[in-house]
Amino acid sequence: MDLPLIKPTLFYLRQKYPSILGLLTGKMYRLQLVRVSACLALILGIMGFSFSPALAQEELVGFTSNGGPEGKGTLFSVKTNGSNYSIIKGFADWGKTPYGGLVKGDDGNFYGLTYEGGTYDFYGTIFRVTPKGEVTTLHHFNYGTDGAYPRGSLVKGPDGNFYGQTSAGGLNTYGTIFKITPTGTFSVIHNFSYNTGAKPNGTLALGIDGNFYGITYNGGTYSYGAIFKITPAGKYTVLRSLNSTTDGGNSYGSLTQGKDGALYGMTYSGGTYSQGTIFKISTNGTNFKVLRHLQGTDGAYPDRNSLMAAADGNLYGVIRGGGTNGVGVIYKLSTAGNFTIIKHLDYRADGGRPYGHLIQGPDGMLYGSTSQGGTFGYGTVFKMTTAGKLTVLYSLDNTKDGGSPTGALYRNTDGNLYGLASDGGKNFFGTIFKVTPTGTFSVLNSFNGATQGNTLSGNIVRAKDNAYYGTTYIGGTTNHGTIFKVCGGVTTVLHHFNKNTEGGWPLGGLVQGADGNLYGMTSEGGNYNGGTIYRITTNGSFKVLYHFNSAVDGSNPHGGLIQGKDGSFYGTARLGGPNRGGTIFKVTSAGAYKVLYSLSYSPDGRYPEGDLVQGPDGNLYGTASDGGTYAYGTIFKISTTGTNFKVLKHLNTLADGSAPLGGLTLGKDGNFYGTTSSGGSTAYDGAIFRITAAGDYKVLKRLSGPIDGETPKDNLVQASDGNFYGMTSKGGKNNAGTLFRITPAGSYSVVRHFNMATDGGTPFGSLIVQQPNPLVAKAQSITTVEDNAKAITLVGTGGSPLTYTIRSNPKNGTLSGTGANRTYTPKANFTGKDSFTFTVSVGCLVSAPATVTITVSPVNDAPVLATIGNKTVSKGATLTFTATATDPDAGQTKTFSLVGAPSGATIHATSGVFTWKPTVSGSFKFKVKVTDNGSPALSAEQAVTVTVTNPVNLVRINTGGEAVTTPLGNFAADGYFTGATSISTTTADIAGTTNDALYQDNRRATSNGGSFSYNIPVTNGTYQVKLHFAETFHPLPGLRKFNVTAEGATWLTNYDIVAAAGGTKTAVVVSKNVTVSDGVVNLNFVSVVDKACVSAIEILPTGTLIASEINNAANQTVVSNLYPNPAVNQITVSLNENTTTFSGVITDSQGNTVKTLNEPVTNNQVVLNVANLQPGLYQLQVPSETGLQTYRFIKK
């Protein structure tokens, strides 16, 4: 039959070929002609566009059911020669059931893992989510190559990339360790093998040495798991294989590095009571020790639990089971192994069964979640003091919030808590949520992202309005599938199926009836759970026409409907019917239903899955996927009244192919063409065949999976070139299926091998043929210069009026404007290539996307000086600092200089090192300048004020504490220290002194092996330096040792406070005379065992003043009080002397001047504005007759 598909308009076809059009009511007419011709009638007729399809390449449009950029299927178009493959619409699967938590990247976004879902048979995904909830899937796990089922969280490495592990899969099936960049570049750095540890379930721990540490569930020497170290480059080392009896085993958790440098963790089972253990181990694998053998009341069977190192030096953790109430506990653990339960969880009041670990906020509170219990039974988010007082911030409602959070929370810089729920939410597979510190809860997004549906099913339909209509098998608000519309590139969900009331999980696609409505079927559900027949208008008005009753009507239809010449619709039900082999039926647009024939296994074949097609003789032709003489399916025909049923062919698997899952296609030659999903050869990859109306059958192609593709599952379509086109659901070069061409004589070629990641794969539906789209978006290449916006006029052809739509935004700039008139603004200092894509549309017809490429040329930028800040130095001392600068332009040489500098001040032109030894006191202002070598040369300047103070002759500092008055004299608040330090505080009595307050605070190194120094300005000369110590933490000698140097000379070696003082919490003082020639007393404290510390420092002149004069001078303090302290916006300074002006400086914790003061005094008080200071610790430094006095305050 000579079908006039090459003609451009429906009007032309109706005028010239009325008799032929009257016959073409089968599937080919439905899929190929009406959509194409109606499209052209609208576009070409309305706009007068002249176009000759015969001279241009037709397009094929179809579905893939899986993969693609968004994870779960694509709607695509491609030329019949295989060129111009374009994704019209991607369908999302972000993954589901996240078991871990979120981690923040350097870009401010969060990154996480899902345990299931994604493209490759549900093995999980890696995703990125913005703080507003916008989700992007970065990677879909593929079991054999990547690993699968990740249970933990990602951890950010020192390189800014993310590292994680999977619990299964990979080359050895025992899991993997992987790395992924923020942009999604993925690599496996280790494949687990059983002998060295297998199936990790937790999160990697980043050690202070830059390596990662973890623990596996099983494997290793004793089969109960292993503790390991791995470098970022992938070098893997087993630190210890766990022996269940002595160590515990089968850990689901993660390791945590304590402040003592050791690694802490938990096992799920084993130990003395077989209920798990808590252990510690050094990073080199030595010093393994079980700190607690767990038993019921302690908490039992830690499941994906780990510890958290708190600011107080202790570790805190949760255990999912056990405790007094049987639903878990929260506990505290000292590094020495002291175990204390601080909370037995109550299921209803607190929530229970906590996974993951706690986090500590800047308020010192512990934050966490439970997976069960609370008001609704699906868990809680809580905060708790370290003493165990718990407050529930929010109880999760599974339906609206998601439920059962199993990972740790993440506290963002905005103060809010972010987390993942592993279950529930509007898509049933978990949520991403945010909780404010006061308990306000909001869902940012829901997994798996299938709000529009995914896993495309059946055939795509291009309707008379030029929109595409289709169905998804799953997804939507009830996860029972959707009906969607794509118009002008915009996707709208017309209907969300509810399986229980109207049917769900549609498989067969849609057909547009003569009335303009769309008709289709669901495969399950409805009143009798056998599926339904429905009608939907193009604006979404939905109605169920019929509910299948399996025994009477047949049930579970897999194919679609066709509209016959009589206006009724015809289809098949796969199961049921009186003979239990499925049925062939007729239904009117009003829902009047009639079974035409009930299939019986042996004589007829059974389980029809494809569409029917109406032949030129008016009969219906179709296939059965099973049964018949050889039990491999049949090809049949039947009249529209249900009479004259006849099997045309009983398929024999090797000779003919078997199990046809698609329907037949009526060719121009009057023959029928189709596919079988199996058989045809010993490879059982399927076949393509031709059969006449009389039953003459011929195999045209026996498929070979790796070369041709295999398992075709739906209809062929015939294009105007006379060739047939179809798809295989598997096989091909990428094992994702193929799109093929076959001539009526059987010449076969693959048009495209689907790529699962980029194209989508596993297509189940049929193609449609459409004439070339007359709309064209024109690509452009434009140029601009750095930091300059560029006006762009977008160009399109083929219709009017054109709507311009941006499809992908530039990555290194922004777009503004509307319609064709847009403005591109590059990011500051960006140079290089950037691009964006756009489409043009008229109504629902949309062009393929075009790319606008922008080249941004560089211009010279001025260098940028890093903040130097104001400085303070004592007269006669040397001030040095290093000026640093950056230049947005790579390769620039930067030269430093000074403008208006005081006499003797210098700066190195290349290194930026400033040096000055002032000889007079006062305030000195000058500028530091940096100049590049660009063309033209550009520079930047920064003003600096240096305050030169008179040297101090006497110094007393309460290190780690506030200013305090003692019989020895007044000790200033802490200052002049550098290095990574912390403060330890106790309220215990101190023996050997009446000055307890002097020893109850000390400054110490932050970490084991750490060091710090005091650099105190004084007049050059000889001084007696006194160091005050008291051990307030360790009870025995040998637990803290350190070295001290003064002015570069060794003073104390392996100093042990407890040994020197004769006991713990006992004061001891050591002294040494030093000579100062550079204006600064330099004291260095270096840890040997644990952390070096000091309680107070005195620097006393020798021989220049008698003791009484020293004490009298020291008692002449300028400031009597600072309040409020801590301060928010202002602080009041009360003075001991009458004066009209108050001078001084405020310095930060590093000694940098942040504010120079010259303030009026009223009633011996001055009010200082500190609102602009960042929160932290500050020193108020005031000159006096005895030198610089320092007073410490805190800015909230």
pLDDT tens track for 659-677: 999 999 999 999 999 999 9
- Is the model's pLDDT at 6 over the cut of 50? no
Structure tokens at 727: 């798809």
Residue 48: pLDDT band (50, 70, 90) is very low
- Is the model's pLDDT at 19 over the cut of 50? no
Q: For residue 236, which of 197, 288, 199, 286 has the smallest C-alpha distance? A: 197
The full set of domain ranges for the chain reads 10-55, 497-770, 776-856, 864-949, 950-1115, 1117-1196
- Is the model's pLDDT at 235 over the cut of 80? yes
Q: For residue 293, which of 318, 309, 274 has the smallest C-alpha distance? A: 274
Return the residue matching tokens 């969880």.
345
CATH entry, 864-949, from 1.20.1290.10, 2.60.40.10, 1.10.3720.10, 3.30.360.10: 2.60.40.10
- Decide: residue 98, CB within 10 A, 0-12 exposed, 13-18 middle, 19+ buried: buried
Rounded distance between C-alpha atoms, residue 888 and residue 861, angstroms: 6
> Which has more confidence, 8 or 819?
819
Residue 28: pLDDT band (50, 70, 90) is very low
Burial 974-989 (b: 16+ CB within 10 A, else e): bbbbebebbebeeeee
Fold identical between 497-770 and 1117-1196? no
- Is the model's pLDDT at 35 over the cut of 80? no
**How high is the pLDDT of residue 1109?**
30
User: Could you tell me the fold of the domain covering 776-856?
Assistant: Immunoglobulin-like (2.60.40)
**How high is the pLDDT of residue 1135?**
84
> What is each CA distance from 120 to 116, 139, 712, 1044, in whole angstroms?
10, 10, 20, 61
- Decide: residue 373, CB within 10 A, 0-12 exposed, 13-18 middle, 19+ buried: buried
> Which has more confidence, 47 or 193?
193
Taking only the tens place, the pLDDT of each residue in 613-670 is: 999 999 999 999 999 999 999 999 999 999 999 999 999 999 999 999 999 999 999 9
Write the CATH number of the domain with boundaries 950-1115.
2.60.120.260
Kindly calculate the radius of gyration of the chain based on its CA atoms and give it in whole angstroms: 39
Q: Which of 524-528, 902-906, 1057-1061, 1146-1150 has the lowest mean pLDDT?
A: 1146-1150
Instruction: State the alpha helices, DSSP H only, in 866-926.
Output: none
Number of C-alpha atoms within 13 angstroms, CB side, residue 245? 1
**How high is the pLDDT of residue 1151?**
62
**How high is the pLDDT of residue 461?**
93
Number of Cβ atoms within 10 Å of the Cβ of 852 = 23
3-state helix, strand, coil in the chain (%, to 5): 10, 45, 45
Which homologous superfamily does the CATH classification assign to the domain defined by 1117-1196?
Answer: Immunoglobulins (2.60.40.10)
Residue 1164: pLDDT band (50, 70, 90) is confident
3-state secondary structure 1123-1179: ECCCECCEEEEEECCCCCEEEEEEEECCCCEEEEEEEECECCEEEEECCCCCCEEEE
Q: Given the DSSP bridges, would you call strands 939-949 and 871-874 parallel, antiparallel or unpaired?
A: parallel
**CATH second-level architecture of 497-770?**
7 Propeller (2.130)
Residue 1171: pLDDT band (50, 70, 90) is confident
> Which has more confidence, 976 or 255?
255
Q: What pairs with residue 190 in β-bridges?
A: 177
Residue 920: pLDDT band (50, 70, 90) is confident
**How high is the pLDDT of residue 1101?**
79
The answer to whether residues 1125 and 1193 touch, using CB atoms and an 8 Å cutoff, is yes
Rounded distance between C-alpha atoms, residue 7 and residue 720, angstroms: 10
Burial 1019-1042 (b: 16+ CB within 10 A, else e): beeebebbbbbbbbbbeebebbbb
- C-alpha 344: how far from chain center: 33
Mean pLDDT of the chain, nearest integer: 89
Residue 1019: pLDDT band (50, 70, 90) is confident
